Structure 1
Amino acid sequence: MHWLVLALALIPLPAMAEFFTLKGHGGPIMGIATAPDGRIATASFDNSVGLWSNRNPEWLEGHEAAVNSVAFNGRAIYSAGDDFTLRRWPGGDVVGQHKGKIVGLAASKTHVATASWDGTIGLWPEDGSAPQVLQVGSGVNAVTFSPDGTTLYSAGMDGTLRVWDVASGQETRRLIEHRFGINELVLNPVDNWIAYGAVDGVTRVLDLTTGDVRDFTLERRPILALALTPDRSLLAVGDGEGYIMVINTAEWRIAQDFRATLRGPVWALAFSADGQNLHAGGLDEAMYSWPVSALGDQAQMAAAEPSFLKDPDEMSNGERQFARKCSICHSLTPDGQRRAGPTLHGIFGRKAGTLPGYFYSDTLQDSDIIWNDETINALFDQGPDHYIPGSKMPMQRITQASDRDDLITFLRSATTPENETGGNQ
C-alpha cells in the first residue's frame, strides 16, 4: 500500500485556480485573448497591447489610438483599434487598414478577419497575398470563423447575422434579422450552435442544425462581451450595467449572475486556457480574473472610483472639467501613467506634437501650435475636430467661456513643474 501512496504523491496536481489582477495599463481594458500556453493579451484604451506571461507584461506599442480587439494565431498576435489599423506582433507591422474603427477580430489558420464600423469586413491572408473586402453596408461589430476557416460569421449594427464563404467572399446566408444591432458572437462548432448578444440586451443561442433558439435575455443592456470555456460547458455574458451572467450549456440554465464591477460596463471577457478562470475588463485600468468555482465571491472591478466618476461636489469647477473631458486620456504627472494621450505635465509653453515617446498624429506633429491659455481655450471652444482637423483627439467642446477659463486655471496649477513659476513659457 505504501508504494501506491508514494506513486500518487509523485503525480503533479493541477494548479488551484485563484483570484488575480493584471495591472499596468493606463486606460480601460477593451479586449482580452488567451493562448493555449497560458499567455494573456489585453487590448486597452491606452493605445497598447499587454502581453502577459506569468503575470509579467510586455508592452506592444504602435497603435495611434485605442486598441479594441486582440487575437492569438499561433505565435503571432493580432490587434486592431480606433486608428483603423490591423497590426501583427512581434513587430507591430500594419497588415491591414480600414476607413473606420476596427472593433472585432477573428483568426483562422489562413486568414485574419476584421470587423469595422466603415461597413466592411477585411479578410487578410496569412501568406500576405491580396486581401478581400466584404461589403456589408453598415457597421460590423463581430466576426468569427468556422474551425476549418472556410466559413465566416458576422454581425453588426443592422442586427443581421450573416454567413460568408471565405474563398469567394460571398454572403451565403442570413441567420438572424434582429431589430437592434448585434455586438457579440460566439460559435460552438462541436455542438453546432452560435450565441449572440445585442444592443437591446438580448442574449440568445441559435441551434444551427434545428434552428431552435434559447433565450437568456435579462433586463440589462447592451450586451458587450461573450466567452465560452474550452470544454464548451459555460458561456459568459458581460453587459453595459456591469454584470456577468454565466450559462451552463449542458443544462441550459443560468449558473451564475453577479455584479462584476462597481461602476461602468464589462467590455471584455475570456476564459483561461484551462477553463478554471474567467478574465474580465472594463473601466478599470486592470484585468480581473476570478476562479470559475467562486464567481461573485471575490473583489469587484473598479473598486476604486476613476477620477472621471468622482463626485462633482468634491472638485472645483476646473477640476470637474478636466475629469469629464480629459482625465480618461491624459495624466497630470511627469510619467504619463500609460494613458491614451500624452501627459499634460509641463504643457504650458510646449509645442504641440513634441513630447518624446508618444505617437502623435501627423497633423499635430506638423502643426505650429504652442499650448498656452489662448490655444487651449480655442481647442475646447471650437472642438479638436475643427481646431486641429485630423487629430486623434475625440470630438468634444466646452461651450461656456467660464468653464474653459476654470479648466485653464486648474491645468496651469496642476501641470506646472514645481521649479517653474507659471505664466506662458
Structure 2
Amino acid sequence: MTKPSLRAPGAMAPCRHMLMVLAFSLLCPSAEAQEFFTLKGHGGPIKGIATAPDGTVLTASFDNSVGLWRDGEPFWLEGHAAAVNAVVFAGGTRVVSAGDDFTLRLWDTEAGTGRVLGEHLGKIIRLVVSPDGARVASASWDGTARIWSLDGEDAELALEGHESAVNDVAFSPDGTRVYTASADGTIRVWDSTTGAAEGQLVRHGFGVNALVLAPDESWIAYGAVDGGTRVLSLPEGTAVQDFTLDRRPILAMAHSPQARRIAVGDAQGFIMMVDTEGWRISEDFRASLTGPIWALAFSSDGQNIHAGGLDNAMYSWPLAGLDAAQAMPDAERSFLTPPEEMSNGERQFQRKCSICHTLGPDGARRAGPSLHGLFGRAAGSLDGYSYSDTLETAGIVWTDETIDRLFDLGPDHFIPGSKMPMQRITAPRDRQDLIAFLRAATAP
C-alpha cells in the first residue's frame, strides 16, 4: 500500500502547477466582493469540489490526488490508486475523499497523514458528512450507499435496495434520514441509524445523477440523465417547478442558502442558476465551450460559484457578474484537435491515452505514469509511480506484441485488477498505427 502524503508545491517541478490568480477575497471571508479566479496545479480534470468557511477549497481530480488550497498555496493529498471523484471537509483538520479505487480515505491535513476509512465494491461518486459531523455517507456504483463512522466507533451501515448505481446522497438536516439518487431512475429515503428503507420518493424513468436538499428539508431538487431538472416539495413529493431545458445529461448540482441559488451543471458546459425564492431561472451561462461540468460548489459566503470540467483547473465566477461571465478557456486537450491535423496513430493516443499519460520524461501529475522510454520496459517498474500489485507482478514487458494485446483484449482482460481504464481499440490497423506513433514519440 502506498504511503499517503501531504506535499507542498515546492516538491513539484515548476511546470506542473502554479496557482494563476487567487482573489484576496477568497482568503478573507470578510471581503465584500469576490472576483473571477482559477486554481491550477492538477494533472487531470476536476471531479469534485468542497469549500470551508475560512475560504479553503478542496479539489478532487482525475490525476488521483486531492488539492488542498489554503492561503493561495496548493498541498497534495496523495494515496488514492485511481481518479478521485468526491471530497468533503469533515470538521477540524479532517478531510474525506473517495474515488475510482473503491476506497474512502480519511485525512488529517495538519499531520499530513491519511488512511482507508472504508471500501465499496465499485467506484464511489459522491460523499456527504452528517450534520453532527460524526458520520460520512458515500454513493457508489456498486448499487449501494453506505454510512461510515468517522471515529470508527460504529460499523458501516449499508443502504441496499437500488437496482443500479447510486450517484448521489444527502443527509436530512437532523441527520435521521438519508436521500439517495440512482441510475435506476429513483430517489429513495432511508433511516440513517438502521439502514431501513422508508420509501421511494421519485421514479423519474431515467437515471438520476444529482440531488440537493433544502436546509429545512422543505424541498428536494434533482437532475437526471435525460436533462430533467425538477424541484419537489417534502415530505409529500409534489412538484414545485420543472426547470428542464434541452440539455442533457445533468451531471452536478450545488445549493447555497446565502445566495438562495441552486447551480445545475450539464454535459454541454452550461451552468444554470435557479432562484429558490421565486423559483425561476436567474442566470444561465456557458461555463465551458469544450466539455461537461463535472463538479460544482458555492463559496462559503455564497458570492462565487466554483466549477470543474475538462480542463485541469477549477474555475470560479462571482454570481454578481454571471450575465457577462466569460467561459473557461478552451481546454488544451489534444484529443479535441481536428482529425485531419493528426496522424491516425496520434489520434488513437490522444483519444485513448492522453488524459492519463504524457510522452515526455515528466509525468506532470497524471493518473498514469509517463510513457517515455516505454518499449522494452517492464510493466509496473517506473520509479516514482504507485502501481497496482497486479501490474507490478504481471511479468509483462512492453513491446509491439504486448501493447497490441493490451488494446485488443482491453486492460481489464489483459491485466485483470490493474488500474487502467476499460477500453479497447478493435481495428488492427488502428492498433498498429498507435504502436508506430508510440515508438517514435516515446523514444528516449
Q: How has the CA–CA distance of structure 1 residues 13 and 339 changed in structure 2, closer, same or farther, with 3 Å as cutoff?
A: closer
Which residue, out of 207, 220, 237, partners 1:181? 207
Conserved 8 A contact 2:270-2:285: yes
Is 1:122 the counterpart of 2:140? The answer is: no
1:223 offset after TM fit, Å?
0.7
Name the counterpart of 2:353.
326
Match of 1:369 among 387, 396, 404: 396
Matched letter for residue 424 of structure 2 = R
Once residues 30 and 76 of structure 2 are traced to their aligned partners in structure 1, the CA distance between those partners, rounded to angstroms, is: 32
Q: Which residue of 1 aligns with 2:25?
A: none
Q: Does 1:80 align with 2:104?
A: no
- Which residue of structure 1 aligns with residue 246 of structure 2? 219
1:16-31 equivalences under 5 Å are 16-31=33-48
| Contact kept in structure 1, 2:344 and 2:430, CA below 8 Å | yes
Of 50, 71, 75, 1:58 maps to: 75
8 Å Cα contact 1:111-1:149 kept in structure 2: no
Shift of 1:362: 1.0
Superposed displacement of residue 15, structure 1: 4.1
Q: What is the letter of the counterpart of residue 63 of structure 2?
A: D
Counterpart of 2:86 (choices 56, 64, 69) is 69
How far is 1:117 from its partner? 1.0
> Distance between the aligned counterparts of 1:405 and 1:174, measured in 2?
51
CA RMSD after TM alignment: 1.6
Match of 1:312 in 2: 339
Q: Distance in 1 between matches of 2:408 and 2:238?
A: 54
Label 1:296 to 1:392 Cα distance change in 2 as closer, same or farther (>3 A): farther
CA distance in structure 1 between the partners assigned to 2:115 and 2:266 by the alignment: 33
1:232 and 1:249 in contact (8 A); partners too: no
Kindly provide the CA deviation profile for residues 338-367 of structure 1, in whole angstroms up to 9, marking residues without a partner as x.
Answer: 111111111122111111222211110111
Task: Answer whether contact 1:265 1:282 (CA < 8 A) is retained.
Answer: yes
Where does structure 1 differ by over 6 angstroms across 4 or more consecutive aligned residues?
none
Q: How far off is 1:332 after superposition?
A: 1.0
Tell me which of 114, 121, 127 is aligned to 1:92: 114
1:209 Cα shift? 4.8
Report Cα offsets for 1:250-271 as digits up to 9, x if no partner.
1111111111101111111000
Q: SS at 1:89's partner residue?
A: strand
* Separation (CA, whole Å) in 2 of partners of 1:301 and 1:412: 34
Deviation at 1:147, TM superposition (A): 2.3
- Report the counterpart of residue 387 of structure 2 in structure 1: 360
Residue 256 (str. 1) matches residue 318 (str. 2)? no
State the one-letter code of the partner of 2:286.
R
Tell me if the contact between 1:47 and 1:66 (Cα under 8 Å) persists in the aligned partners. yes
**Alpha-carbon deviation of 1:413?**
1.4
Residue 131 of structure 1 deviates from its aligned partner by 1.0
CA distance in 2, matches of 1:225, 1:168: 29
State the 1:232 CA deviation.
Answer: 5.4
Establish whether residue 167 from structure 1 lines up as the match of residue 193 from structure 2: yes
Contact 1:384 1:393 in 2 (8 A): yes
For these two proteins, the number of residue pairs brought into alignment is 406
Cα distance 1:364–1:211, how it changes in 2: closer, same or farther (>3 A)? Answer: closer
Change (3 A) 1:359 1:136: farther
Matches within 5 A, 1:224-373: 224-231=251-258, 233-373=260-400
What amino acid is aligned across from residue 85 of structure 2 in structure 1? N
Q: Distance in 2 between matches of 1:236 and 1:263?
A: 19
Structure 2: which 5+ residue stretches go unaligned?
1-28
1:131-167 deviation line (CA, Å, top 9, x unaligned): 1112124211110112222211111011111111111
1:211 is displaced (CA, Å) by 3.8
Contact 2:285 2:325 in 1 (8 A): no
Partner of 1:378: 405
Distance 1:377 1:191 in 2: 54
**Identity percentage over the alignment?**
64
How far off is 1:70 after superposition?
Answer: 0.8
Contact 1:165 1:172 in 2 (8 A): yes
Corresponding residue SS for 2:294:
strand
Secondary structure, counterpart of 2:262 in structure 1: strand
- What amino acid is the match of 1:101? K
**Deviates further, 396-405 or 352-361:** 396-405
After TM superposition, give the deviation of residue 193 of structure 1 in Å. 1.0
1:127: Cα distance to partner? 2.4
**Which of the two has higher C-alpha Rg?**
1
User: Unaligned 5+ residue runs, structure 1?
Assistant: 1-11, 418-425
Distance 1:220 1:342, change over 3 A: same
The answer to whether the Cα contact below 8 Å between 2:182 and 2:207 also exists between their aligned partners in 1 is yes
Tell me, what secondary structure is at the counterpart of 1:264? Answer: coil
Judged with a 3 Å threshold, the aligned counterparts in structure 2 of structure 1 residues 405 and 77 are, in CA distance, closer, same or farther, namely: same
Structure 2 length normalisation: TM-score?
Answer: 0.88
